[in-house]
Amino acid sequence: MTKKQVNESSKELGMDSKDEKKGKPGKLKISVHAIRKGEKKPANKKPGKRRGNRSNGGQGNSSRRPAARDLLKNLKQKQRVEEVHLNEQSQAARKEYQKNLNKPAQEAPAAKKAESEPAAASASASSSKVRGPKILKPSPARMKQNETPSENRSRGNGERRHASRPSKRPSSGSQRPDFSAAPMAAPEPSKDNRRRGGKPGRKGQNAGFQPDHSHSDRAERRKKKNNKHQQSAQPKKQPTQRKERPLPESFEYEVGMNAQDLGKILHREPAEIVKKLFMLGIMTNQNQSLDKDTIELLAADYGIEAVEKVHEDISDIDNIFEQEMEASKESKNQTVRPPVVTIMGHVDHGKTTLLDRLRHTRVSEHEAGGITQSIGAYQVRINDRLITFLDTPGHAAFSSMRARGAEITDIVVLIVAADDGVMPQTIEAIDHAKSAGVPIIVAINKMDKPGANPQHVTEQLMNYELIPEAYGGSTIFVDISAKTGLGIDELLENIILEADMLELKADPKQKAIGTVVEARLSRGKGPVADVLIQQGTLRVGDPIVVGDTFGRVRTMTNDKGRQVKKATPAMPVEITGLNDVPESADKLVVFEDEKTARAVGEARAQQALQKQRENVQHVTLDNLFDTMKRESMKSVDIVLKADVQGSAEALAQSFQKIDVEGVRVNIIHSGVGAINESDVTLASASNALIIGFNVRPTAMAKSQAAQEGVDIRLYSIIYKAIDDVKAAMQGMLEPTYEEKVIGNLTVRETWKVSKIGTIAGAFVDNGYVNSDAGIRVIRDGVVKYDGKVASLRRFKDDVKEVKAGFDCGLTIEKFNDIKVGDQLEAYEMQEVKPS
Ligand SMILES: Nc1nc2c(ncn2[C@@H]2O[C@H](COP(=O)(O)OP(=O)(O)OP(=O)(O)O)[C@@H](O)[C@H]2O)c(=O)[nH]1
């Protein structure tokens, strides 16, 4: 504060400058405070400069303020007039707009900004953004944020700044260009103002009220601010608009989300969510995790749909397989692929002969030097088209693949011997193909035979809705001889025809997927899988997961025994490089990298093991009878281990003599020595019991058996083992009990009580005694009595149990001849497995 200011202020407060000069600090203090209070910090750190701008010929504050107020008042009156005018205009425009919704609101007395904005601002947007100062709800938070000291002042002066006052908006050359870009509340879009809103005083205060600024100066600064605002107005409006965003029609949630998370998704304040839940009877806070029901209840209350987020499980390769299958349907890279054919029919009707003929004639002839090898499937070429035949004939293979979710067959060739006609398995084959929805081509075989009667076969098949085209149906019938080769080409051509009708296509460019046709463990190659590629192209080196196994394609061999680098759709290949042998019908999926493939494969193997443990309830002697009944067992499988060969043989013979209602014992393995892990694995895989005679399981075998639920029974008496198994098969196996001494007591006192008998006051020396225990009275080393505890007390209370180191009072059922010094032995009968 300058000396001059102090003087001025002192005058204002009636102080003499002399006082100041005299250096009366108390008075000076008061006056400074008063000045500050009165001026609202008129003095800055560089008051000279400021004052130079503000003051008018060195006038004091007291004389400046009324002039500033007048100026402000005038300005505000002007504003109000403008506001009223503009309000009318905007009302008119709104009406106009309502009339013609399709026209952009050009007629509106638009502010420059509105005009410059693309009329694209959609109808609603234009009404809300351009002339919509009213759309923003005046929430306390926003009001606070928007408040500037100047607003405070105006309110303090009894003026109400109305949110909808349009006067602030227009920029039509008004003296208040700064408000034009911020229709609702001038300070809102300005970064500076927002900051000031939070910190009154300092800059904010000065900026909010600077009565002595020259008009042009202020206009200049606000113009600048306005320009600045115009550049950044839109993005900065975003936070305030959040509350106005409508609820989504549906939303995805995860269980465990809290009100804050949901608030973000639903464009609502977390507090509102908490309140809503409260109204629904759920007490929660913003951070508390919500369960599925609560979230769905909330969604229902809002009238919107809640969809739980599905987490994709990459170990679910069946799902990946399906996704790839679906993806191929949409793919533009689809190309025609060879059909996959299964040959089905009754026994001896010629399936194998046909497959052999196709393989040898078609493969060996056309693929020079090709050595056909059995890889579960092979391809045959006809007229430059390929057909893939699955090498496993019969509906059992077809259906077992299907049962395991592998539907790889496109066409079934139903083979019927012309000299035999429709037989039971022919009908079964028809049913299997039909239930799979696979088209059938009928091949009437053995046409070379003298007794061949294709007409009869056709008539029979017509009873099963297989009507040849000649009779108005759509089933292809071909007369063949698998033996002579008659009609084979015609059959192949018809398969191609059928395939064309089916429009079989695949995308060779997508990620490869396939199905295992057969798998085995090869001595030289390790695990080997014959795979039929269904989509994409499998390449050597690809990281793969096959069923519960994983690896990297090390080698690929085609049906001609040649090493290939890649396999395209419908091509069967033998692959090596897996860590284990998969099962037929297992799916093959290619992964991005070996690490992921390994992780997925291991996870799947773990899951499979777990599932196996959960599902497979191994047969035990205890559940044998029930299992036999439930599963209609024809035999009880036993793994037998004994100390010597002789015992093993004797036991085996005795076991094999057991016959309970036609069910017999089947010794699947017998041997000498301890029960080892291999015995447990065998028993586990075959759902067998293990009987050990004078032998024990190894520690590893014991824990494996416990893990896999394999029942190991140990005996040292042959007939006991035989009896147990027999009894178990008859459902009569009684649980065996063993006595276990639980405590020893010494009688220290006795009381004779009429109606009760003799009460023994005894001390528990070790263990414990309980009210259900058996009790033995031992006198001079001789058991005098063996009975049960009748009552057990401590002091006057009946108790369940008394432990070592305590006295108790007990009576013995039907025995009163208890004497001081008697030893009491408490025991229990515990169920034990025979050992
Ligand atoms: N004459 C003649 N005999 C045939 C023809 N096709 C197969 N056979 C004979 O019929 C018998 C059975 O043939 P397979 O090919 O083994 O029949 P399948 O249907 O595979 O029989 P299963 O494997 O037992 O289901 C064999 O002796 C064949 O030689 C044929 O077209 N003509």
172 vs 388, more confident: 388
Q: Give the pTM.
A: 0.46
Distance in Å, CA 90 to ligand 1 centroid: 94
Q: What is the pLDDT at residue 201? A: 38
The annotation status of 351 as a binding-site residue, yes or no, is yes
CATH code, 338-503: 3.40.50.300
445 ligand 1 Cβ < 6 A: yes
Q: Whose CA is nearest to atom 11 of ligand 1?
A: 348
Q: Each residue of 557-602: pLDDT tens digit?
A: 988 888 999 999 999 999 999 999 998 888 999 988 888 889 888 8
Is 60 exceeded by the pLDDT of residue 659?
Answer: yes
Return the SS3 of 515: strand
Q: Strand 340-345 to strand 774-779: parallel, antiparallel, or no bridges (unpaired)?
A: unpaired
Q: How far apart are CA 792 and CA 769, in angstroms?
A: 9
Q: Whats the size of the chain, residue-wise?
A: 835
Q: What is the mean pLDDT of residues 71-82?
A: 71
Of 775, 749, 762, 831, the C-alpha closest to 803 is 762
Distance in Å, CA 351 to ligand 1 centroid: 7
Q: How far apart are CA 55 and CA 40, in angstroms?
A: 16
Q: What is the mean pLDDT of residues 496-504?
A: 93
Place of tokens 């979230």: 295
Q: Each residue of 226-239: pLDDT tens digit?
A: 555 555 545 555 55
* DSSP assigned state of 555: E
Distance in Å, CA 455 to ligand 1 centroid: 20
The annotation status of 345 as a binding-site residue, yes or no, is yes
Domain spanning 624-732: CATH superfamily: Translation initiation factor IF- 2, domain 3 (3.40.50.10050)
Q: Which CATH number fits domain 510-615: 2.40.30.10, 2.60.40.1180, 1.10.3720.10, 3.30.930.10?
A: 2.40.30.10
Q: What is the pLDDT at residue 322? A: 82
Q: What is the mean pLDDT of residues 146-159?
A: 40
The annotation status of 213 as a binding-site residue, yes or no, is no
Q: Strand 663-672 to strand 635-642: parallel, antiparallel, or no bridges (unpaired)?
A: parallel
Is the Cβ–Cβ distance between 136 and 240 less than 8 Å? Answer: yes
The confidence band for 98, taking pLDDT boundaries of 50, 70 and 90, is low
Q: How far apart are CA 496 and CA 410, in angstroms?
A: 11
Q: Each residue of 686-702: pLDDT tens digit?
A: 788 899 988 888 888 98
Q: Each residue of 274-321: pLDDT tens digit?
A: 998 888 888 888 888 888 888 988 998 888 888 887 766 677 878 888
349 ligand 1 Cβ < 6 A: yes
525 ligand 1 Cβ < 6 A: no
Q: How far apart are CA 534 and CA 639, in angstroms?
A: 43
Q: How far apart are CA 528 and CA 456, in angstroms?
A: 45
Is the Cβ–Cβ distance between 134 and 163 less than 8 Å? Answer: yes
Q: What is the mean pLDDT of residues 696-716?
A: 87
Helices and strands, counts by H and E, the chain: 29, 31
353 ligand 1 Cβ < 6 A: yes
Q: What is the pLDDT at residue 395? A: 62
Q: What is the mean pLDDT of residues 706-718?
A: 87
Is the Cβ–Cβ distance between 189 and 153 less than 8 Å? Answer: no
Which of 343, 344, 346, 352 to mutate for ligand 1's pocket (most ligand atoms within 8 Å of CB)? 352
pLDDT more than 70, % of the chain: 66
Q: Each residue of 325-381: pLDDT tens digit?
A: 887 778 788 899 999 999 988 888 998 889 888 887 655 444 444 444 567 788 888
For residue 415, give the ligand 1 atom closest to its CA: 19
Q: What is the pLDDT at residue 553? A: 94
Q: How far apart are CA 569 and CA 536, in angstroms?
A: 6
Query: Rg (Cα) of the chain, in Å, rounded?
Result: 48
Distance in Å, CA 486 to ligand 1 centroid: 14
Q: What is the ipTM of this complex?
A: 0.98
Q: What is the pLDDT at residue 113? A: 42
Domains 510-615 and 736-832 share a fold: yes
350 vs 156, more confident: 350
Does the structural domain 736-832 have CATH classification 2.40.30.10?
yes
**Alpha-helical runs (H) found in 169-291:** 177-180, 191-198, 202-208, 215-241, 259-266, 270-279
Of 784, 767, 785, the C-alpha closest to 827 is 767
In this structure, of 59-68, 204-213, 570-579, the range with the lowest mean pLDDT score is 204-213
Q: How far apart are CA 573 and CA 532, in angstroms?
A: 6
Which contiguous run of DSSP H or E holds residue 758?
strand 757-770
351 ligand 1 Cβ < 6 A: yes
The annotation status of 448 as a binding-site residue, yes or no, is yes
Q: What is the mean pLDDT of residues 34-62?
A: 40
For residue 486, give the ligand 1 atom closest to its CA: 31
Is 80 exceeded by the pLDDT of residue 160?
Answer: no
**Cα 624 → chain centroid:** 39
Return the SS3 of 642: strand
Is 80 exceeded by the pLDDT of residue 411?
Answer: yes
Is the Cβ–Cβ distance between 47 and 2 less than 8 Å? Answer: yes
Q: What is the pLDDT at residue 211? A: 43
Q: Each residue of 538-558: pLDDT tens digit?
A: 999 999 999 989 999 999 998
Domain ranges in the chain? Answer: 250-308, 338-503, 510-615, 624-732, 736-832
Q: How far apart are CA 249 and CA 307, in angstroms?
A: 11
